[in-house]
A and B are shown apart, each in its own frame.
Chain A
């Protein structure tokens, strides 16, 4: 029983990291209608910035987190302006390929700057455990902070999109870019803000992920990026609570699958569940089917 609980908590903690990454994916997809495959690599950049602040400059963790958020926000806006904006009118396939290209560009750039040797990320959260049930169940502080952060981020993001003026503009752009522009919404600004927020989230995800799983190298963001994308599709891409649910379920399935089915098939298990969900509910768990009005 304690082993099950302990695995469950590991799963939720891993899932929370996927969830924060998936929130960034789903925001950009929901509003700009594009899959930003470079998102995972922005996470990696965020983690490197935080690593440099802590290890090379010896700054306190809070400054490291803020600096990596600032750099990632700028990076996100820059990527959007340079790589995606000129393709606003192009086919979605062209944008998708550009995003994959951007992903490789960031990986190789990071390798040029920081080298291929892995770095060991220093956690920004105090190491240690909360011990429950007479010492049998241990929950690390990193897990607790990760889970709490993902919930806070999801609630804040839902409120922002649902209540604020910029949020309303985002929803307008999401529904119909052309009509939004006619109604006076600044589409370019809205999309830039979306990328800025998505990238700031990526920085948080990077710091939290590397605090829990501390190996940092230029390809660090690639696999979590793909899994978070899976989580976003799983939960219903474009839906904020969907990304959260998808991420957490994915993490739990992965860990429990590895613990009870086979440690060799952890990843295969995750994707098998994805296929099953999409067969039964093609829009994902919380995705809405949108009827095109003609």
Chain B
């Protein structure tokens, strides 16, 4: 028995060595000019720039990671079709887990990643950003919105809003629109995204005199029971429920509130985007709900409608703001490549040092905002627009 075990272990180790060789060999063979295909090599003199993405492609948060990867892929397809600079996406799954994310980062570095457009979730992004900061690799995250992601790291920039920004503007919007007098908050205390918006919301609410009558939490983004939280809100006489959470639990909350016969108004942040596209969801339940989001898939301008139709055709679902942020991130990097003359030969470190000053001078207009600019600490400034859900679609407020 022991012998068999030893043999198996030996076989595994030998295989492991081969696997290692194969992995390191692969990029070399693709980079080497081939005699039989000189024409294609000449057509793309700059070679292929390798762009990395890391995010949850399986598990509880799989929708967000896949949306980011799909958004980048669509941007790359469009850019590659123009000719000139060519890009390739390296995409790895981290299941939203920091340890797996760092492993994924190392795998992509081995494969020759030159810039990282990720990672998708804040916790994982913070872990990767620490390593990338030491190794001087530029990180432009489409969706990791927690301030911890770029705190003290000069090489990490965000395309999305920061969480505190959203919490404060939510409180401000509720106050200025006058949509609620007594507010209940239901937030996810196991999630940095939700916690951070909640804290800034509460601080702002106190400052501007917004009355929060019920404050309850949950910790599972899956199929949770919200009867206790909803009842607490009803008992406190709340008329508006603020939901600084992702749309999956919002579906459950709206359905359970309806089943229990409560008549609240709801106010969500950008995590609520995607709600109306949930298969089987009765959109009448969301009627009259408010949300703050930088991206509206129903907007009729050319950029949005072409993105939405390509995305829907290719992936079978309506893109959410994660996909839109990711698409913008790729175009921001594309602009940098043109301005700064990056090629497939430019090292990740050179790209990083060139990107940092460039980002602070660059102004971008894309799917998720007009005239977006960045501060030296990597935060974006763009306008959060308030929408109200009307006849199953976003409508502008007022």
Contacts and interface: CB of A to CB of B under 8 A. Distances in A.
A120 B232 CA distance: 24
A10 B280 contact: no
B74 interface: no
B261 interface: yes
Given A6-B231, A120-B278, A263-B228, A213 B223 contact: yes
A237 interface: no
B225 to A, nearest CB: 5
Contacts of B251: 118, 120, 214-215
Given A6-B231, A129-B261, A213-B256, A263 B278 contact: no
Contacts of A31: none
A132 to B, nearest CB: 13
Contacts, number: 114
Given A129-B261, A263-B218, A219 B60 contact: yes
B10 interface: no
B189 interface: yes
Contacts of B231: 3, 6-7, 259
Nearest to A141: B259
Contacts of A188: none
B252 A255 contact: no
A107 B285 CA distance: 29
Interface residues of A, number: 45
A224 B63 CA distance: 21
A219 B222 contact: yes
Interface stretch (A60-68, A108-116, A161-169): A108-116
Contacts of A118: 63, 248, 251, 278
A137 to B, nearest CB: 11
Nearest to A220: B223
Contacts of B235: 3
Contacts of B220: 223, 267
B66 interface: yes
Contact of A223 (B63, B66, B223, B255): B223
A51 interface: yes
Interface in A218-271: 218-220, 222-224, 254-255, 258-259, 263-264, 266-267
A10 B228 contact: yes
B6 to A, nearest CB: 19
Interface of B: 57-60, 62-63, 66, 189, 216-220, 222-225, 227-229, 231-232, 235, 248-249, 251-252, 255-256, 258-261, 277-282, 316-317
Interface of A: 3, 6-7, 10, 14, 51, 55, 107-108, 111, 115-122, 127, 129, 138, 140, 142, 209-210, 212-220, 222-224, 254-255, 258-259, 263-264, 266-267
19 contacts: A10-B227, A51-B280, A55-B279, A118-B251, A120-B282, A122-B280, A138-B260, A140-B259, A213-B225, A214-B251, A215-B251, A217-B60, A219-B222, A222-B222, A223-B223, A255-B227, A263-B228, A266-B219, A267-B219
